[in-house]
Amino acid sequence: MAQRISLTRYLVEQQRIDGLIPAQLRLLLEVVARACKGISQAVNKGALGGVLGTAESENIQGEIQKKLDIIANEVLIEANEWGGHLAAMASEEMDGIYVVPNRYPQGEYLLLFDPLDGSSNIDVNVSIGTIFSVLKKPEGDRGVEAGDFLQAGHQQVAAGYCVYGPQTTLVLTVGDGVAMFTLDREQGSFVLTQENVRIPEDTKEFAINMSNMRHWDAPIKRYVDECLQGVEGPRGKDFNMRWIASMVADVHRILTRGGIFMYPWDKREPNKPGKLRLMYEANPMGWIVEQAGGAATNGKQRILDIEPTQLHERVSVILGSKNEVERVTGYHSTL
């Protein structure tokens, strides 16, 4: 039987052999992974844990928060605030940044996360997940502030997600490809189950919320229409469609077997560039997808090159199999 490599050993080797990750970053990633194990336990309890349903509150997005949204956010804050590796955190569930309290040492990293992505699926027992992104705090001995988080996605030093599905799987990049770790619940540890993940450059599977079709812009309408025409149409092949309404689960499928995921701008809220958030959804997922040989754009430019102006800003997202993303992006420049 092949030797099992734990997440800890993988990270130590990335630190020692490749010098890719300093000790403080390795500690950060291990703490985040431990927090994801705790979130997985809470999610898995479901109704038995009294954690289903909504809390009596809204987040900055104006969305009603689920109890598990708040629990997951608290787990991540409490796990990360004392270790000395972080200066501050930002979350989809918090209006402003969370600066590490003075009673703890401050580190050089900034952690951003969507603590529980896909909340609408919690109560119906469909896969959800945690998405996280790591940036370095700008040099200087001044205190950390919200503006320090406003860095383009190509500045990330680590990104990952944990999908809470039939398996709990942690997916991670530190800039040297993508690795997947499956939680061994008997041992309580994440075990390396795939490394050097590669997304096929072509696909026959697209993911988009079709109920929004009448609101889409022409390039998206053209692309999806051509997919629906199948083998008789200009693509010369039939396509399949998936939409889980959990970005983490849709992206995990694409990393596993290819595909294209689209949450484009639409006419419902024309002043918003899209629904998904740049800093803690599109940037980490975009980097992971690129590190696996895929592509990620907003229809006009590489997501990782977008210079953010607000912590919770939204973005149009087209990501996945490289050739399909390039086709959709090309339609945006010609139509």
What residue ranges bind ligand P6P (CB under 6 A)? 117-120, 209, 245-247, 263, 275-276
Q: Which is closer to ligand P6P, CB of 85 or CB of 253?
A: 253
Residue nearest to ligand P6P (CB): 247
Q: Shortest gap between Cβ of 63 and ligand P6P (angstroms)?
A: 8
Q: Smallest distance, Å, CB 275 to ligand P6P? A: 6
Q: Which is nearer to ligand P6P, 209 or 229 (CB)?
A: 209
Q: With respect to ligand P6P, which residue has the nearer C-beta, 100 or 122?
A: 122
Q: Dihedral (C-alpha) 234, 240, 241, 246: value to the nearest 10 degrees?
A: -130
Contact 170, 186 (CB under 8 A): no
E strands in the chain: 54-58, 64-66, 86-91, 98-99, 109-117, 128-136, 158-164, 168-173, 178-184, 189-195, 205-207, 240-241, 260-263, 276-277, 295-297, 314-315, 317-320
CB of 130 to ligand P6P, least distance (A): 11
Nearer to ligand P6P, 146 or 210 (CB): 210
Q: Measured from the CB atom, is 252 or 275 closer to ligand P6P?
A: 275
DSSP H helices, the chain, are: 7-16, 23-45, 67-80, 218-229, 247-257, 283-291, 322-334
Give CA separation, 125 vs 71, 122, 245, 258, in Å.
17, 6, 12, 24
Residue 39, classed as helix, strand or coil, is helix
Closer CB to ligand P6P, 130 or 246, in the complex = 246
- Closest CB 38 distance from ligand P6P, rounded Å: 21
**What's the CA gap between 17 and 309, in Å, rounded?**
37
Closest approach of Cβ 5 to ligand P6P, in Å? Answer: 30
Closest distance of CB 61 from ligand P6P, Å: 9
CA distances from 149 to 133, 199, 279, 334 (A): 11, 29, 8, 34
Q: Using alpha carbons, select from 71, 88, 73 the residue that is nearest to residue 28.
A: 88
* CA gap 50, 48 in Å, rounded: 6
Among candidate residues 165, 192, 327, 328, the one with its CA nearest the CA of residue 251: 165
Least distance (Å) between residue 265 CB and ligand P6P: 13
Task: State CA 32 to chain mean position distance.
Answer: 14
Using DSSP's 3-state secondary structure scheme, residue 213 falls into helix
- Nearest residue (CB) to ligand P6P, 192 versus 208: 208
Question: Which residue, 75 or 282, is less far from ligand P6P as judged by CB?
Answer: 282
Sign, Cα dihedral of 46, 48, 52, 55: negative
Closer residue to ligand P6P (CB): 114 or 324 = 114
Least separation in angstroms between residue 297's CB and ligand P6P is 17
Shortest CB 213 distance to ligand P6P, Å: 12
